[in-house]
Amino acid sequence: MTESPRVTDVESLLRTPLHDLHVSLGARMVPFAGYSMPVQYPTGILAEHRHTRTAAGLFDVAHMGQVTLRGPDVHRRLETLVPADVQGIAPGAVRYSQLTDEQGGILDDLMISNAGDHVVAVVNASRKHADVAHMKAGLPGIAVELAEDRALLALQGPGSAAVMARLAPPAAALAFMTFTACPVAGIPCGVSRSGYTGEDGFEISVPADRAVALAERLLAEPEVRPIGLGARDSLRLEAGLCLYGHDIDTTTTPVEAGLAWSIQARRRREGGFPGAAVIQRQLAEGPPRRRVGLRPEGSAPAREGTEILDAAGNAIGRVTSGGFGPTVSAPVAMGYVAAAAAAPGTPVQLVVRGQARPARVVALPFVPHRYKRS
């Protein structure tokens, strides 16, 4: 299991362009993926979580990797590393996919944007250098470039569309999983309608030296408040979205992780990506285990690593993410269980602090997605 590098020497931590802004806003900074990031602001995680679900929250995700791939036939070439139909991505559209290994395991998950003559991939902070090396090795002749001069902000929540309509009118026209180049409050940006909270929202790529100006402008809007990593995790968990290094890694396949929807028909048929044999077999015969949602019956949250037993007490898997769901206002968790026990409604037990407590397998997400599809 790939963990975020444990950095103890705070001084050696990297900083995003917004670091000083976070500090000035009273954020509690913690190490994450080698960066010093805000885990919460004075209002606290619960308030931040609820604010994002009801208004609009601003997230600093500048630590993530924005990778540009440029070169002859880049769309088709990229398909040799990911199971998604990259050639089928319309210009201006975005698709979710994974970098897989020969066993069908997941090296990282990523967003792929078709910018016409080139492709932009957004990858996880903890994996970005490994991913770039992997792509360079796998795609000779394709220029793979990790943008060092750009920051990434996410504006998420039902109020975000109104904010963008004021500051970036053209972005108001975007459908879910599409992007456009568009000034935001006069600052040239790349804007996509996507996110990591299950809410309507936007992800904004901005030149690093304008990031603070943009963040301050966005925070000046009545709907917008800054949101830290804590709420980001509870929001994505309720939305049933995977966190790399926890819910997915090289030991899990896209099929086991319930991400088969991100493998389009042509690729299922034709294969041609790392681990295709494993994945195609799992698609045909079904995987041995599946990622599921779990609802503990009591009020005790089940944390990552919690053992999952079936009704008879046999170990059938482990919790990969878990905690209290502020919107569900109950504990929620995700984990892998044997395929036989994956059906929603299946009673299971979670071993919390040495004691087996009753829980139920439930369908994901815990909170319905509110994306703006066309």
Partner 1 sequence: MTATGHRGLDHEEPLLFEQDEPGRTGVDLPAPKGGQDRLGGRARTRPLGLPGLAEPQVVRHFTRLSQRNYAIDAGMYPLGSCTMKHNPRLNERVARLPGLGDLHPLQPAKTVRGAVALMHTLAHWLTTLCGMPAVALSPAAGAHGELCGLMTIRAALEARGDARKRVLVPESAHGTNPATAAQCGYAIESIPATARGRVDLAALKAKLDGSVAALMLTNPNTCGLFEDEVQEAARLVHQVGGFFYGDGANFNAIVGRVRPGDLGVDAMHINLHKTFSTPHGGGGPGSGPVVLSEALAPFAPLPHIVVRDGRPRLVEHDGKAFGRIRAFHGQMGMFIRALAYMMSHGADGLRQVAEDSVLNANYVMAALKDDFTPAFPGPCMHECLFDDRSLKDTGVTTLDIAKALIDEGFHPMTIYFPLVVHGALLVEPTETESKATLDEFIGAMKALARRAHEEGAAERFHAAPTLAPRRRLDETTAARKPVLRWRPATPSAAAE
Partner 2 sequence: MRYLPLTQEDRRAMLATIGVASIDDLFVDVPPSARLAAPVDLPLHQGEIEVERTFRAFAAQNLGTTGVPCFLGAGAYRHHVPASVDALIQRGEFLTSYTPYQPEVSQGTLQALFEFQTMVAMMTGMEVANASMYDGASATAEAVLMANRVTRRTRAVLSGGLHPHYRDTVVTYARYSDFRIEALPLDPEGREDLAARLDGDTSCLVVQYPGFFGHVRDLAPLAQKAHAAGALLVVVVTEAVALGLLETPGAMGADIVVAEGQSLGIPLSFGGPYLGLFATRDRYVRQMPGRICGETTDAEGRRGWVLTLSTREQHIRREKATSNICTNSGLCALAFTIHLALLGEAGFERLARLNHEAAIRLADRLASVKGVEVVNDTFFNELTLRLARPAALAVDALADARILAGVPVSRLAPEDKASENLLLVAATELTTDQEIEALATALGGVLS
The binding site for partner 2 (CB under 8 A) comprises 90, 92, 166-171, 173-174, 180-183, 185-186, 188
Nearest residue (CB) to partner 2, 91 versus 313: 91
- Check: CB of residue 30 under 8 Å from CB of residue 45: no
Nearest residue (CB) to partner 2, 219 versus 277: 219
Nearest residue (CB) to partner 2, 174 versus 211: 174
In the complex, the smallest distance separating the C-beta of residue 168 from partner 1, rounded to whole angstroms, is 10
**Checking DSSP bridges between strand 315-325 and strand 355-362, what pairing results, if any?**
unpaired
CA distance 167 to 154: 14
Q: Which residues pair with 214 in a beta bridge?
A: none
- Check: CB of residue 221 under 8 Å from CB of residue 28: no
In the complex, the smallest distance separating the C-beta of residue 172 from partner 2, rounded to whole angstroms, is 10
The yes or no reply on residue 200 touching partner 1 (CB under 8 A) is yes
Nearest residue (CB) to partner 1, 167 versus 359: 167
The yes or no reply on residue 173 touching partner 1 (CB under 8 A) is yes
Nearest residue (CB) to partner 2, 355 versus 374: 374
The yes or no reply on residue 181 touching partner 1 (CB under 8 A) is no
In the list partner 2, partner 1, none, the entry touching 181 (Cβ below 5 to 8 angstroms by class) is partner 2
Q: Which residue among 161, 191, 241, 341 contacts partner 1 (CB under 8 A)?
A: 161
Nearest residue (CB) to partner 2, 174 versus 337: 174
In the complex, the smallest distance separating the C-beta of residue 366 from partner 1, rounded to whole angstroms, is 22
In the list partner 2, partner 1, none, the entry touching 44 (Cβ below 5 to 8 angstroms by class) is none
Q: Give the binding-site size for partner 1 (rule: CB under 8 A).
A: 13
Look up residue 91 and give its DSSP letter.
T
User: Which residue stretch of 160-168, 215-223, 284-292, 338-346 sits at the interface with partner 1 (rule: CB under 8 A)?
Assistant: 160-168
The yes or no reply on residue 374 touching partner 1 (CB under 8 A) is yes
In the list partner 1, partner 2, none, the entry touching 64 (Cβ below 5 to 8 angstroms by class) is none
In the block, which residue shows the tokens 């309509």? Answer: 165
The yes or no reply on residue 220 touching partner 1 (CB under 8 A) is no
Helix axes 45-54, 229-238, angle to 10 degrees: 50
Residues 354-373 contacting partner 1, CB under 8 A:
372-373
Contacts of residue 357, defined as CB under 8 A and 6 or more positions apart, other chains included, come to: 296, 297, 298, 300, 302, 349, 350, 351
What is the token pair recorded at 213? 């100006």
Q: What is the dihedral of CA 223, 154, 29, 148, to 10 degrees?
A: -140
Residue 220 has φ and ψ, to the nearest 5°, of -75, -15
Residue 77 has φ and ψ, to the nearest 5°, of -60, -40
Q: Which residue among 170, 281, 283, 362 contacts partner 1 (CB under 8 A)?
A: 170
Stretch 106-145: interaction string toward partner 1, x if CB under 8 A: ----------------------------------------
Q: Which residue among 143, 165, 181, 340 contacts partner 1 (CB under 8 A)?
A: 165
What is the token pair recorded at 207? 């030149």
Nearest residue (CB) to partner 2, 188 versus 347: 188
Q: Which residue among 23, 25, 147, 172 contacts partner 1 (CB under 8 A)?
A: 172
Q: Which residue among 5, 42, 169, 188 contacts partner 1 (CB under 8 A)?
A: 169
How many other CB atoms sit within 10 Å of the CB of residue 164? 27
Residue 261 has φ and ψ, to the nearest 5°, of -60, -20
* Range list of β-strands (E), the chain: 28-32, 35-40, 56-60, 65-70, 94-100, 106-114, 118-123, 143-146, 150-156, 179-184, 187-192, 201-207, 224-227, 289-296, 307-310, 315-325, 330-338, 347-352, 355-362
Query: By C-alpha distance, which of 304, 331, 301, 332 is closest to 318?
Result: 304
How many other CB atoms sit within 10 Å of the CB of residue 374? 7
Binding site for partner 1 (CB under 8 A): 161, 165-166, 169-170, 172-175, 200, 372-374
